[in-house]
Chains A and B, each alone.
Chain A
Amino acid sequence: MAKLSKVIPRETLLLAGLIAVIVVFFSVTTFAARAYHRKQEQFGAAWYERGEAALRQSRPSEAVADFRNALAYSRDNDLYRLRLAQALMADHRPQEARSHLLSLWEKEPGDGTLNLELARLAAMWGDTPQAVRYYHAAIYGVWPDEPTAHRWQIRFELSEYLLQRNTPQDPKAAQAELVALAAVLPPQDVAAQMRLGTLFLQAGLYPRALAAFRAALADQPNLMPALEGASEAAFRMGDYATARHYLLPIVAQKPKDEHFLELLNLSELVIKLDPSERGLPSQEQARRALQDFQFALVRAQKCAPASASGVAVLLEQAKSIRPNEKSLARNPDAIAKTMDLVFKLEKASAQCGSAGLEDKALGLLAQQWETPR
């Protein structure tokens, strides 16, 4: 050292020595850090596996503890954090889950899974605008596997949520979601078409519901839930002939199902009582109108003593008209006037207690007449 320092300044030698020490220390630290990280990864993975197992066995609170341990060894592991959030959700601790999800969301605002979980949380808290925002972000978000299927599922979920909310503006929002969904769902996907049809029914879009059920029936013609859905949709949209078409096989298979039996009877009766059925000869139209008039008159006469003056006035009006088959057959306007009186009598008599099947059919017929075709 003394000899060397004559050639090289002592300070330079010391600096070189210091750098050499740092290099050695760096190497030792590298070695130690590798072992340390390996151990951390092992611990993290072990706790993660335990958490997954606990979740599979429906023990979410244990899973929460395990995922927390896993996260302690890998704070930046987004998968661990996501699973922790999901375990917290499963353990009914949404507030705690939300914070982890938000933390992840800040890093990946376009992640489909995160947006979906946040949407569910917002939906749980009744924050509809936020929920819709997150649902939409999830729909248009990134899904590493099966993105299309995920997007369909989320739109279904969003529609169901909006329909459950049952507020005046939500059905329209739900209808919009369902229409968008109908445009992309493959017609041969029976399960999806069935779900779509059911939601369309709930949303009050009966023609679209019928179309969805028909798409399902095209693949499986005897699928009972599809027949039921189609019949229900057709019935509600006032297409009683179509409803009857789908109700006949249902009642044949389920003769004791009162609901569908009643729907079938009503459908057949509406068809039978409707004087406006297309292609009907004027004589038959007149006969049906007169028959409807008789039904309504009988019910009103039974009701008159107990009812308010409204029914009596209508009865007086009915007596003054005194329609007959010939005059009605000659004058189509008279049929319309008669039917108008029939519907008024039925409406006025509604206060006198439950209606018979014919009266119900006339009520449905009235709705059909009132709806512009």
Chain B
Amino acid sequence: MPTAAAAGGSAKERRLLGEDQLFLLLSILIGVFAGLAVVCFRMAIDAARWILFGSGLMPPRGRVVLVPGAVGLLVAFLVVRFFPRVRGSGVNQTKSALYIYDGYIPGSTIIGKFITSALAIGSGQSLGPEDPSLQIGAGLASLVGRRLKLSRHNLRLIAPVGAAAGLAAAFNTPIAAVLFVIEEVIGRWSAGVLGAVVLAAVSSVVVERWFLGAEPLFRAPGYRLESPGELAAYAILGVVAGLASTVFVKSIQLLRPWLKALPRWTQYLLPALAGVLIGLIGRQYPQVMGAGYEYIDQALHDQYTWEVLGILAGLKILATVLSFSSGTPGGLFAPTLFIGAMVGGAVGGVERLLYPHFTGPLGAYALVGMGALFAGILRAPMTSVFLVLEISGNYAIILPVIISNALAYLISRSLQPTPIFDLLSRQDGIDLPSLEQDRERAVLRVEDAMHAPTPQMALRLDDLPPPEGVESLPGEFFLVQDRSGYWGGMSKARLLELASDRASGARPQELPHLHPDHSLDVAMRRMGEWPLLPVVHRADGNKLVGVVSLADILETYRNRGPALDELAEPAE
């Protein structure tokens, strides 16, 4: 949570607002700013497409190979010569700003990302506008934060706030954007950050809807569960989606470093080469070119046979791997949704063939498939569920979505332990924190370190031994329960004094208490200078269930910490 105290040097200036209030106000302004930028970005992509291919969905055959190739050359030139930071999707760059560069994203990156992504996506590269929107939003937020001389702490946090605004406007999905940024970028839920992210996301979506309309991104036809048995079909879809996700991520894992290792001059050619190859695919299947929203809509409306859907899923994986690995700026969200819709539709089609009476509309499978691939590839399970609900405006689909997403996520996780964004950052030589691993990391608790209280360590005020008995007790500090049942602490000297003169009125000193489920981190903070702390029952504060010392805590960290870290680290 940003605090006024953290404002540092800028606190010397006269301020109308505290830094907390300023941060929240800025969140709204950044949301509006990012919303406007994303609206312009989306219009720019469409304008590029109209200029390059004309107004029809099917690109003219003469241009379908030529345009992506030629524009690929231009994009590569711009990226290599002017905007080297705009490669890739933009999610990792935003995380880098948060964790490495103190929230700094250069203004040139915003401009470069805008131009190169609009050109690349508009010319048919198989990439999407959402992740670039996220980076544009983060960049604008960073720019504004720097101008206003925010504290370093707030400057770090302002970039994810802008990222949420950018993503929310790109998808028209405020909840999913907030969840994604919390789940994937920031990695923690605190009221202050959440408030700022929500304000930014909501204000950007309001702006986006003002200009582009309030309808959800896709209009999915009605869904109803034909029979409870159909949930099994959605489970199968989850499994297939998990496998497809793994194929996609593994392909990028193999191809991207191989292309990166080529001589530097090839970077001028790779986007063009990818464009030509995608154009060649596009001669037969133009659906794989660009973001492909129109075709997702068609898949949602049962417009393809399962065979075509299967082919489109395979070709989109290939095209996206080529585009992304070549270093062309653009996002992975839209291709992920495209592949998911096609995989979902294909699985639904096969199931309809086998069990026509138990299979609902293929559009429902396409919709669920989108969420499943999102969970499998981007590994943001909560976001994937809410994304499907928001982009379709259909709550009835939630049960199949949860089942498929969970299975896709688990299968992808077991076959490909490193999430794609972590994989990309490692390929780029950056060690960003893996938020999925953080989520999975087991927490060491007090119960792991405490040991049972012994009669020599925990005494009762009413039942103290005589002075010679106290003298013989091991240790210099003891837990003592007073007459009200409260557990406090006493040094040996005070205990001896009390044992000698029972009427002295000496009372145990107040101690911080712990519970068995407290993390060791909490125990460390409370330990202070005390040699021992009592661990008491949550329902009965007078019941001593254990005792913990600093040595116990350190011993537990030493013995069990590395093993738990290994569990969370990928096996690769």
Contact = CB atoms under 8 A, between A and B. Distances in A.
A253 interface: no
B25 A15 contact: yes
Contact of B211 (A12, A18, A33, A46): A33
B302 A98 contact: yes
Interface in A100-114: 100, 102-103, 105-106
Interface stretch (A67-75, A190-198, A262-270): A67-75
Interface in B1-37: 13-17, 22, 25, 29, 32-33, 36-37
Contacts, number: 99
Contacts of A100: 221, 301
Interface string B139-171: 000001001110000000000000000000000
B528 interface: no
Contacts of A32: 40, 43
Interface in B290-312: 294, 297-298, 300-303
Interface in B197-256: 211-213, 215, 219-222
A11 B215 contact: no
Interface in A32-50: 32-33, 36, 39-40, 43, 46-47
A99 B15 CA distance: 58
B361 interface: yes
Nearest to A25: B36
Chain A interface SS verdict (over half): helix
Given A11-B22, A76-B219, A106-B222, A68 B29 contact: no
Interface string A79-107: 00000000000000001101110110110
B50 interface: yes
B399 interface: no
B211 A29 contact: yes
B427 interface: no
Given A22-B36, A29-B39, A96-B301, A9 B16 contact: yes
Nearest to A98: B302
Given A18-B144, A25-B36, A96 B55 contact: no
A99 B50 contact: no
Contacts of B301: 96, 99-100, 103
B29 A11 contact: no
B353 interface: no
Find the residue from B14, B55, B215, B361 having the highest chain A CB count within 10 A: B55
A99 B297 contact: no
A98 B55 CA distance: 26
Interface in B457-499: none
B15 A76 contact: no
B219 to A, nearest CB: 6
A36 B47 contact: yes
Find the residue from A11, A22, A33 having the highest chain B CB count within 10 A: A11
A65 interface: yes
Given A9-B16, A18-B144, A76 B215 contact: yes
B302 A36 contact: no
Contacts of A25: 33, 36-37
Given A11-B16, A69-B55, A75-B297, A22 B302 contact: no
A11 B13 contact: yes
A47 B57 CA distance: 11
B148 A11 contact: yes
A281 B220 CA distance: 79
Contacts of B303: 96, 99
B162 to A, nearest CB: 13
Contacts of A29: 36, 39-40, 211
B161 to A, nearest CB: 14
A68 B303 CA distance: 11
B376 interface: no
Interface of A: 9-12, 14-15, 18-19, 21-22, 25-26, 29-30, 32-33, 36, 39-40, 43, 46-47, 65, 68-69, 71-73, 75-76, 95-96, 98-100, 102-103, 105-106
Given A11-B16, A33-B212, A76-B215, 6 more contacts: A15-B29, A29-B211, A30-B211, A65-B58, A68-B298, A99-B303
23 contacts: A9-B15, A11-B149, A18-B144, A25-B33, A25-B37, A26-B36, A36-B43, A39-B50, A43-B50, A47-B56, A68-B298, A69-B56, A72-B57, A72-B294, A76-B213, A76-B215, A96-B301, A96-B302, A99-B221, A99-B361, A100-B301, A103-B221, A103-B222
Interface of B: 13-17, 22, 25, 29, 32-33, 36-37, 39-40, 43, 46-47, 50, 55-58, 144, 147-149, 211-213, 215, 219-222, 294, 297-298, 300-303, 361-363
